[in-house]
């Protein structure tokens, strides 16, 4: 086991990934996961499906950098980042982040950190299909603020 | 040859996913954008020089007016929205 980054079109097998983290060593005492799924609304619109595009090669290297940064900041035993690309329907998993560590704080914090950096640094783009057509999702200023909060050493 | 790639909303705005340009002599990013503006129209210059657009050379984000070398890949990235 160890650390891995995957970009895939197939569905994310949450149970399998969680199991791999759980089996990643006897010193593991905590696993924190984040599983982002497609919801049926954004702001005021009803969403039917989304499609995700990425910059092949750069996405993987950016996610590896983020995972390495998490390893440098916290004592963690194993970590997984899986992001889907292509067409996804409401309810499907978009992203899985899982961290195994000896204690809960490291797992919670590094998981949170990885998502904040993924949101602002990984070259992935979502397009929503809704009843009125299709639109690229706009980036949120709040995501930039969340990512910057890790720079201050305030955690 | 320099390969240029455009993603997501940028690709749609420009109506172009990728293109290749001849490499004649070392040139900086700003000169490349000026060249594209001249060749493709003001719209390109405006879109590519937007503050929200990030640029990657060989899949690494750059912030300065880098010198481009033959064979490099320059990517123009709109604000990311993964996760």
Domain region containing A99: 3-148
Q: Above 60 in pLDDT, residue A154?
A: no
3-state secondary structure B24-82: CCCEEHHHHHHHHHHHHCHHHHHHHCCCCCEEEECCEEECCCCEECCCCEEEEECCCCC
Q: Are A95 and A35 in contact (CB under 8 A)?
A: yes
A153 belongs to a structural domain: no
Report the gap between the CA of B81 and the closest CA in chain A (Å).
5
pLDDT in tens, B44-73: 999 998 999 999 999 999 999 999 999 999
Q: What is the CATH number of the domain that holds A12?
A: 3.90.1170.40
Query: Does the residue A55 lie in any domain?
Result: yes
Residue numbers in A near B60 (CB within 8 A): 58
> Are A125 and B56 within 8 A, CB to CB?
no
Is A155 domain-assigned? no
In a domain, A100, yes or no: yes
- The total of structural domains in chain A comes to 1
Two tokens, residue B25? 């002599």
User: Which residue in A82, A111, A125 has the most chain B C-beta atoms within 10 A of its own C-beta, making it the best mutation to test that interface?
Assistant: A125
A11 within some domain: yes
Name A136's bridge partners. Answer: A127
Q: Is the residue at A25 inside a domain?
A: yes
Please tell me the pTM assigned to this model. 0.95
pLDDT of residue A1: 61
Domains of chain B are 2-77 (3.10.20.30)
Does residue A82 carry a pLDDT above 90? yes
């Amino acid at each position: 086991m160890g650390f891995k980054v995957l970009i895939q079109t197939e569905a994310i097998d949450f149970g399998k990934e969680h199991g791999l983290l759980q089996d990643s060593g006897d010193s593991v005492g905590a696993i924190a996961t984040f599983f982002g799924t497609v919801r049926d609304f954004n702001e005021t619109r009803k969403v039917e499906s989304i499609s995700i595009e990425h910059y092949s090669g750069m996405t993987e290297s950016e996610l590896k950098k983020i995972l390495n940064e998490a390893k440098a900041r916290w004592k963690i035993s194993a970590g997984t980042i899986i992001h889907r690309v292509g067409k996804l329907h409401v309810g499907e998993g978009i992203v899985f982040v899982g961290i195994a560590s000896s204690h809960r704080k490291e797992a919670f914090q590094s998981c949170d950190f990885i998502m904040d950096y993924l949101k602002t640094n990984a070259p992935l783009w979502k397009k929503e299909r809704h009843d009125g057509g299709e639109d690229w999702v706009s980036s949120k200023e709040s995501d930039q603020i969340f990512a910057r909060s890790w720079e201050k050493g305030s955690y | 040859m320099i390969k240029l790639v455009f993603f997501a909303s940028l690709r749609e705005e420009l109506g172009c996913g990728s293109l290749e340009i001849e490499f004649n002599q070392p040139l900086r990013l700003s000169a490349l954008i000026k060249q594209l503006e001249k060749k493709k129209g003001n719209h390109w210059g405006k879109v590519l020089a937007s503050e929200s657009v990030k640029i990657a050379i060989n899949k690494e984000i750059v912030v300065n007016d880098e010198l481009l070398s033959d064979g490099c890949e320059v990517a123009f990235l709109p604000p990311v929205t993964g996760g």
